[in-house]
Amino acid sequence: MDKEKVYLYDTTLRDGSQSRSINFSLEDKLNILKKLDDSGFDYVEGGWPNPTHELDRKFFGEASKMKLKNVRLAAFGSTRRPGIEASGDSQLKALVEAKSPVITIFGKTWDLHALKVIRTTLEENLAMIEDSVSFLSGNCEEVIYDAEHFFDGWKNNRDYALRTLEAAVKGGARWLVLCDTNGGTLPDECAAITAEVARRFDTSLGIHTHNDAGCAVANSLLAVKSGARHVQGTINGFGERCGNADLIAIIPGLEFKYGFGTLGAKKITELTSLSRYVDEVANQHSDPRKPYVGAYAFAHKGGAHIDGVLKEATSFEHMPPESVGNERSFVISDQSGASTLVSKIQKYIPDVDKKNPLVKDLLVKVKDMEAEGYQFESAEGSFRLLVEKAFGRYAEPFSCEGFRVFEEQSISRTKELSAEATIKVICKGEEFHTAAEGDGPVNAMDNAIRKALTNFYPQLASMGLIDYKVLVINGEDGTSAKVRVLIESADDEESWGTVGVSTNIIEASWIALIDALNYKLLKDGLV
């Protein structure tokens, strides 16, 4: 029998970006949208495209050009202001102008907010909800109503909280989403209240929880058990304060523990990769203790545990790690990783299997590099180069004999800091010694190396660096800490990531930059 569907609504790009340590660029948001679409998510909330949010307005403009296979893109906003017509509200008009198929708006459910925060009457607040939903329903395919602070509102004034939902239904809302905005509701309360609302309304229910009491995932799961069929959350639980409900933990819980349909078993095997990819794009350290997908989630150290797992995996594991794309590991040995690595290699060499001795050699190399601080989830370019070299299918098309970078700042600081790079390159038996300026040291190195190589490979002129991130790996070492540099490059056909690690940020950048150029030549069949 088919599983009952639960719709997944991701708000990493909006609610997740409110985390104090996260700042997504336009390119970051578009890349994450594509990844979520490939993963099979039902909805992605792209941001709040009101007149003051220029980045989000640009995002919706660019996202409208994408051919999304699974995702229905949602723009986010609030109900109209008190005392005006919905059609005259500038932020509602901006939502319509975003031209997303779905619009999600929040309204005040807690009477305290209506009276003391937006300072209007309870009746006017109800009118604001109904008018706004009605106006938007006539200007998009689907309106989702987020009942902000619903659980606090219910506990303070149950009758009024229900009236706000009725107003949204009258306006034409497709989903009523119950929000635990302050994150303080406990699981038994969440389950009981959601069940009561489900008995009172025919309109489909959703759940949106925050993690301030450490219960966001539990609340989301129990809300579904109690009647919700739409779950909002973020990848890795990103969000303001203590974060939002973590969809990475919710999805396998719904699919494997409760038997609901979400992404499907095949796509769920990509959860570990998705989690780490979003961490890298957001420039965050991946939590090794993260449920399901963390590096320690299926790691065994105790002798009795290892003995038990080797005899019968279910003796010390609540589910197979492969189900979520993770892998079992034993801290005292190297008995892990080959199957996962083979699945990645097969993307480029379809007939390889884990019995191939080159796989074992590559596994050792990858683990050594990861111990040094490398991660390859969003550095597919660097990973492919490793594979091609390991299997003897690739030779370096050029070599760099050395480089030097200068930065100059006038004493008076009347001019911007300038950078210049000089590089000596050998390509096809010829030596080139070039120099170039740039906006910074990485840009200068990029300009200098390409100035030399375009003599042989003019195709390199079509690629460019579109994103650059630095993450300190071991911050306790202070200024001697290692850094991981992630570079994203693109040409007219695709974008790709490359990575470098060093205690020297310039060297780490150089490693990632050289990989970017090599990958371009490889993918274009020039080497």
Residues 520 and 424 in one domain: no
Place of tokens 């760099």: 400
Check: CB of residue 371 under 8 Å from CB of residue 426.
Answer: no
Q: Following CA atoms 135, 136, 137, 140 in sequence, which dihedral angle do they give, to the nearest 10 degrees?
A: 140
pLDDT confidence of residue 336: 45
Domain end call among 438, 456, 474:
456
CA angle 142, 37, 12 (to 5 degrees): 75
Q: What is the pLDDT of residue 421?
A: 92
Residue 195 banded pLDDT, cuts 50, 70, 90? very high
Among the candidates 243, 263, 283, a domain finishes at 263
Handedness of CA 167, 169, 173, 177 (dihedral sign): positive
Query: Per the structure, how many domains does the chain have?
Result: 3
Are 151 and 251 members of one domain?
yes
Quick check: 147 pLDDT over 70? yes
Domain membership of residue 474 as a residue range: 342-397+463-527
Do 198 and 130 sit in the same domain of this protein?
Answer: yes
Sequence-ordered list of residues with C-beta below 8 angstroms from that of 172, at least 6 positions apart, any chain? 133, 134, 137, 143
Res 400 pLDDT > 80: yes
Domain annotation covers residue 15: yes
Long-range pairs of 123-127 with CB within 8 A, sequence gap ≥ 24: 124/82, 124/83, 125/82, 125/164, 126/163, 126/164, 126/167, 127/167
Q: Is 134 left (phi over 0), alpha (psi -120 to 50) or beta?
A: alpha
217 plus 158 within the same structural domain:
yes
Residues 248-252, mean pLDDT to the nearest whole number:
98
Average pLDDT for residues 366-385, to the nearest whole number? 89
Instruction: Tell me the pLDDT tens digit for each residue of 415-451.
Output: 667 789 999 999 988 898 999 998 888 889 999 999 9
- Among 239, 263, 287, give the residue marking a domain's end: 263
In a domain, 33, yes or no: yes
- CATH code, 175: 3.20.20.70
pLDDT digits (tens, 9 = 90+) for 207-216: 999 999 999 9
The answer on 480 and 369 residing in a single domain is yes
The answer to whether residue 309 sits within a structural domain is no
Predicted local confidence at residue 13, as pLDDT? 98
Query: 220 and 234, same structural domain?
Result: yes
236 shares its domain with 371: no
Do both 64 and 208 map to the same domain?
Answer: yes
Q: Are residues 518 and 380 in the same domain?
A: yes
What tens digit of pLDDT does each residue of 86-111 get?
Answer: 999 999 999 999 999 999 999 999 99
Q: Is 430 in the same domain as 487?
A: no
Asked if residue 367 has pLDDT above 80, the reply is: yes
pLDDT value at 403 more than 50: yes
pLDDT for the residue numbered 411: 56
Same domain, 144 and 253: yes
| Residue 281 belongs to some domain of the structure | no
Question: Does one domain contain both 13 and 103?
Answer: yes
- Residues 380-407 have a mean pLDDT of 92
Residue 373 lies in a domain: yes
DSSP H stretches of helix in 415-497 = 441-453
Average model confidence (pLDDT) for the chain?
A: 92
Residue 332 lies in a domain: no
Task: Give 289-338 pLDDT, tens digit per residue.
Answer: 999 999 889 988 666 777 787 788 889 999 999 999 998 876 543 444 67
Q: pLDDT digit string (tens) for 41-72? A: 999 999 999 888 999 999 999 999 999 999 99
For the cut 70, the answer to whether the pLDDT of residue 1 exceeds it is: no
Q: Is residue 66 part of a domain?
A: yes
Least confident interval from 243-252, 279-288, 413-422, 500-509: 413-422
Secondary structure (DSSP) of 119-140: ---HHHHHHHHHHHHHHHHTTS
